[in-house]
């Protein structure tokens, strides 16, 4: 049984290896977290990192992203329930930045710092510059298009 599951995962894996297929976040997550940047898939940080992020929104990477108490609690609770699952969430990256995770740096080792600074990209945080359907959780390597 276990090997059958493993086999089916292996068969299905190549297409979705880099894409998010977990539970759909609530509307508040998509709206609030997605207004300044991509509403990042919740599996990209461990729960402890999400908790620090959600309790420091007034100083959120150089910007005030504070929320009303009810919305903050709703998103925090959701991330503590469904966030931090899978292999990407095994480490707490420096400053709780997804882009400082070892897996992120490994996956992007062929992308130079100069490329990340291009006018059409600006920063490694701007997932959708190269992963066009990142908002739908699609990070498939075959569909990456790096703008000139």
Partner 1 sequence: MLQKLFALLLFASLQAMAATPAELLAGYVAQAGQSASAAKGEAFFKASHGQEWQCTSCHGKSPMTGGRHASTDKAIEPLAPAANAKRFTDSAKVEKWFRRNCKDVLARECSAAEKADVLAWLISVR
Beta carbon of residue 36, minimum distance to partner 1 (angstroms, whole number): 5
Considering only CA atoms, which of 84, 82, 16, 75 is closest in space to residue 47? 84
Give the range of 11-19, 47-55, 60-68, 108-116 binding partner 1 by CB under 8 A.
Answer: 60-68
Give the range of 6-14, 19-27, 64-72, 105-113 binding partner 1 by CB under 8 A.
Answer: 64-72
Given 1, 62, 69, 109, the residue binding partner 1 (CB under 8 A):
62
Given 58, 105, 133, 141, the residue binding partner 1 (CB under 8 A):
58
Distance CA 109, CA 107 (A): 6
Given 123, 141, 144, 147, the residue binding partner 1 (CB under 8 A):
123
37 binds partner 1 (CB under 8 A): yes
Judged by the rule CB under 8 A, the positions of this chain that interact with partner 1 are 35-38, 58, 61-68, 121-123, 125-126, 129
């Amino acid at each position: 049984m276990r090997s059958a599951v493993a086999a089916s995962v292996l068969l299905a894996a190549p297409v979705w290896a880099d894409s998010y297929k977990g539970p759909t976040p609530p509307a508040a997550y998509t709206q609030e977290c997605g207004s300044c940047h991509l509403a990042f898939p919740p599996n990209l940080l461990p729960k402890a990192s999400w908790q620090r992020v959600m309790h420091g929104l007034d100083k959120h990477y150089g910007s005030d992203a504070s929320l009303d108490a009810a919305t903050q609690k709703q998103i925090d609770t959701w991330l503590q329930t469904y966030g931090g699952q899978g292999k990407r969430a095994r480490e707490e990256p420096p400053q709780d930045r997804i882009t400082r995770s070892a897996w992120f740096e490994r996956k992007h080792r062929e992308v130079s710092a100069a490329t990340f600074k291009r006018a059409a990209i600006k920063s490694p945080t701007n997932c959708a510059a190269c992963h066009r359907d990142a908002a739908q959780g699609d990070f498939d390597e075959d569909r990456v298009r790096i703008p000139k």
